[in-house]
Structure formats: C-alpha cells, structure tokens
Chains A and B, each alone.
Chain A
C-alpha cells in the first residue's frame, strides 16, 4: 500500500487514504451482432467505465476507483426504464468533499449518457454524517445547476474529469 502524498502548503482531510488494488478491466468479448441498426442496451460496466477514472478532488493522482469510492456495484442501471443510480462511498464519514464528487458524477453522466436517462446520485447509506443533506442537494437539479454555474467549482470538476 502506498501512502498518500503530502502537500507542503495545505492540510488534507484524509492524508493517508487507503488505495485499493484496481480490478482488472473486463475486455468486451466480440459479440456476433451484425445488425448495424440495433442499439445495445447500456449496461453497468459501460457506465462504470465512464466514471471509474474521475480523480478524487483531494488526491488528483488517484481515481475514485483507486480509493474504493466507486466500484462496479456502485452502478445500478435499468436500460428499459432509462434509469441509472450511482451510490458512492466517501473515504471518511466526516469528510467535506462528497458534494463535488456527486456533482462530478452527475456532470460526467449527463455528458456521456443518451438524453433519455434519468440519473440519481447518492452517498452509500451509513457512510457519511451528512448523508441526508448531501443526498438532498444532489437530488435538487436547480441547486445542482446553480452550483455548476460557479466557475471555481467548474474548474475543480474539470480537473477531476481530466484523464
């Protein structure tokens, strides 16, 4: 296990995060689908691939997957109902950073998924002191929209989404 990197001029809330071994990425087997007009349903892995590499706001060299904030099981998808729910686990129950992570997930999925999808993002039950507060904020699209007009927040989210 590597220890977290220490910045000289700022105090990190979680200085020594646990870094989890990455699960091997599944290689998609070549499906013998020769119908060029059919659209494959969107599945859990496809969605996870879009969000697993988002950088943690506090540790930009580490991804949400590295820190076990997201796993494949974080993603619930029902393609027929055009519905996705992401459940993420902050590294510490009292850390103040779940909201940027949640907003980044919402922004990334809004960019990546077809327009028909409804997306909910929530903190894993029991994983954070401010769970209800954070979930309610992430569920209020007007608050999310206003937040995404904040240039400082947008700059942070862009940094998190850089691969």
Chain B
C-alpha cells in the first residue's frame, strides 16, 4: 500500500474505556505485539492487551496506589522488563513484574516538583527524567531494579516537558516551556554530559513551548511540535556522528504550519515514515515526505486529517513499533484511549 494512496484513512479499531480522568500518554510495549500502556490524571496506569483469539483489546492490569497525583508519562524499557512512570507527585517509579506477586517498584525521588517525562536509552542502560524544576536527570540502570544518579543537567530556564534519547546513540534531547530543544552529549563513556546545542528561535526554532520530540527510524531526522501551532523537521548527518567525529549539529529542514489551530501536544514518527500529530483541536493529523523516493529535497505534505478523533484534546499519539500493523494509539482529555489503523478505506 503506497502512502500517497488517495483512499487512505485512519480507521478507529477500538475505544478503550476505563480511565476516570484525562489520559496524558500512551506507550506500546516494544517487545510484545498488541500490548499498550496508558497513564492518566486518575493517578493510575492501565495495561491493555489484544486477545489473539478475538482480536479485541481489554484492560489486563491497573497499576494504582503508588502515585499520589497525576501520572503524566510512561516508558517501557527496551526489553519491556521495566516500566517507568513520571508523576506530578514528584517521583519517578520503575516497575518490575508489575501486577504479579513478585512486583517490585523503585521510587526515584529527586525532582523538586512535578516530573513530566521519562525515557530509556536504546540499550536500556540509562534512564532520563525531567520536570517543572527545570532539571534533567540521567540515571545509570543497575541490576535488581536499582538506579545510580549519573548526571543532573541544568540549562533550561523553564519547565522541561519531555526528554527523549536518540534511537541509536546515547545523545539526550529535551524540550521545554522555555521554547527550546536542548541536546545533551557526553564526549566519553564517563558520563560528563553537556548541552552541546540549543534549538531556539534564533535558529529557526519554535516561538512557544515545545511539547514533544520524535525521531525517524534512521535517527537522522527529528520532528518537534509546539504551542506555537507548528511542527518542525530537523536533520543531522548521523553517519558522521556514528563514526566518532564528535558532535554534529542539527539543522532546520522545514516548518509545517496552518494545519492545527490549537496547541500540538504530541508527535510520533513511524518506522515507515508517517508523522502523526495530536493536538488541542481534537484532531490527529498525519504527514509524510512526498519526495522520500527521490533525491529531491524533502517535501512534507499532509497525508490525512482526522477531525474529532476524540471529543476533546488529543494529548498523545504513538505508532505501534512493529513494521506491518500500522496501528496508532491515542490518548485524550476525554478519558479515552483509542486504537486506530492506517488503511485503505473501502
């Protein structure tokens, strides 16, 4: 199915009800098909699984009683053995064997106020967190669900909304209420991380809060979205960085504007090149590079716009990690999680 097929639509597969307050984030299990986690202002995390028999989704577990305030964000470790959750209660919890008799929860309590985001690096050896106290923390992951603080990064002048490790290299990205994206890199393996680049208004960056970041599969392109109602694409020469040349800066490729008319909260780049955005205008919009087959400059176009994807703001969108399913999960202020499929409409 070619991406520029005119009959493509985002088809609603199922609506998952259960959360009793807004859903802030959704995350697919990276190691098992058909398993999704969601987190909410209702202070819980729900794990949803697709039955191999009936193909329908049910709630398999509710992780509650640990966080005392909104759970804002969550992330599975690459092996999916651990699940990290970030909460307004100021803690980051890492769950092992959740919802079983051998459940163990590590509580990282370092941020001075709400924790907004958590991210694992590609190998699962490092965990990053960030929050309203403007700091970014990097943790070394030790055996037995233990963590050692490896770095405390200050530099943002405001609330840090999201942290995300690069998909192939141990380079950390953060985005903030201060309107910038910061890139943190350590020259050597001893973990002395420094801010090596700031993408701000002066280098074609956003003019308001940056809410979310996502990378393409190759890791040489990045997409960011913002309260300034735009989506921006960035690129770097990743092969030069991977060959040990040192840090190679990211540069702006293009800005997509005029598509959303409320804050864009979430952006996610699928393995096959489709960028999904979820926004406060209740829509989910998909973008692709219409020149990806040719040597021409990239040209990002709207693939489709799903109006009223939810009854209220869409806070999170995430593509399933596998290559074939083309499933997209979304979470909203309307308390719902939805599963969608990008498919040709009859």
Chain A interface residues (CB < 8 Å from chain B): 115-116, 118, 136, 139-143, 145-146, 149
State in angstroms the CA–CA spacing of A140 and B69 once bound together: 18
State in angstroms the CA–CA spacing of A162 and B88 once bound together: 28
> Do the beta carbons of A142 and B116 come within 8 Å of each other?
yes
What A residues does B311 contact at CB under 8 A? 115-116
Query: Which of A115, A118, A136, A145 has the largest count of B CB atoms less than 10 A from its CB?
Result: A145
What A residues does B312 contact at CB under 8 A? 115
- Minimum C-beta distance from A80 to chain B (A): 14
In the complex, given contacts A141-B263, A146-B114, what are 15 additional A-B residue pairs having Cβ atoms less than 8 angstroms apart?
A115-B311, A115-B312, A116-B311, A118-B262, A118-B281, A136-B209, A139-B227, A142-B161, A143-B177, A145-B41, A145-B70, A146-B70, A146-B88, A149-B69, A149-B70
State in angstroms the CA–CA spacing of A139 and B263 once bound together: 9
Is B280 among interface residues, defined by CB-CB distance under 8 A?
yes
- Minimum C-beta distance from B309 to chain A (A): 14
What B residues does A145 contact at CB under 8 A? 22, 41, 70
8 A Cβ contacts from B105-139 to A: 114, 116, 132
Chain B interface residues (CB < 8 Å from chain A): 22, 41, 69-70, 72, 88, 114, 116, 132, 159, 161, 177, 208-209, 227, 262-263, 280-281, 311-313, 334
State in angstroms the CA–CA spacing of A136 and B161 once bound together: 14
> Do the beta carbons of B70 and A140 come within 8 Å of each other?
no
Question: Lowest 3 CB-CB distances: which A-B pairs, in order?
Answer: A146-B114, A146-B88, A149-B69
State in angstroms the CA–CA spacing of A149 and B263 once bound together: 22
Taking CB as reference atom, which chain B residue is nearest A120? Answer: B262
State in angstroms the CA–CA spacing of A140 and B280 once bound together: 11
Q: Given A115-B312, A118-B262, A140-B177, does the pair A149, B88 have CB atoms closer than 8 Å?
A: yes
State in angstroms the CA–CA spacing of A118 and B262 once bound together: 9
State in angstroms the CA–CA spacing of A18 and B169 once bound together: 61
- Minimum C-beta distance from B116 to chain A (A): 7
Q: Which of A141, A143, A146, A149 contacts B313 (CB 8 A)?
A: A141
Q: Given A118-B262, A118-B280, A140-B209, does the pair A146, B132 have CB atoms closer than 8 Å?
A: yes
Q: Which of B41, B72, B227, B334 contacts A140 (CB 8 A)?
A: B227
- Minimum C-beta distance from A117 to chain B (A): 10
State in angstroms the CA–CA spacing of A36 and B280 once bound together: 32
- Minimum C-beta distance from A148 to chain B (A): 10
What B residues does A116 contact at CB under 8 A? 311
User: What are some 28 contacts across the A-B interface (CB < 8 A)?
Assistant: A115-B311, A115-B312, A115-B334, A118-B262, A118-B280, A118-B281, A136-B177, A136-B208, A136-B209, A139-B227, A140-B177, A140-B209, A140-B227, A141-B263, A141-B313, A142-B72, A142-B116, A142-B161, A143-B132, A143-B159, A143-B177, A145-B22, A145-B41, A145-B70, A146-B70, A146-B88, A146-B114, A146-B132
State in angstroms the CA–CA spacing of A143 and B88 once bound together: 10
What B residues does A149 contact at CB under 8 A? 69-70, 88
State in angstroms the CA–CA spacing of A142 and B117 once bound together: 12
Query: Which of A115, A139, A146 has the largest count of B CB atoms less than 10 A from its CB?
Result: A146
What A residues does B22 contact at CB under 8 A? 145
Taking CB as reference atom, which chain A residue is nearest B88? Answer: A146
- Minimum C-beta distance from A156 to chain B (A): 19
What B residues does A141 contact at CB under 8 A? 263, 280, 313
What A residues does B177 contact at CB under 8 A? 136, 140, 143
What B residues does A143 contact at CB under 8 A? 132, 159, 177
- Minimum C-beta distance from A107 to chain B (A): 14
State in angstroms the CA–CA spacing of A141 and B177 once bound together: 12
- Minimum C-beta distance from A7 to chain B (A): 31
State in angstroms the CA–CA spacing of A146 and B177 once bound together: 15
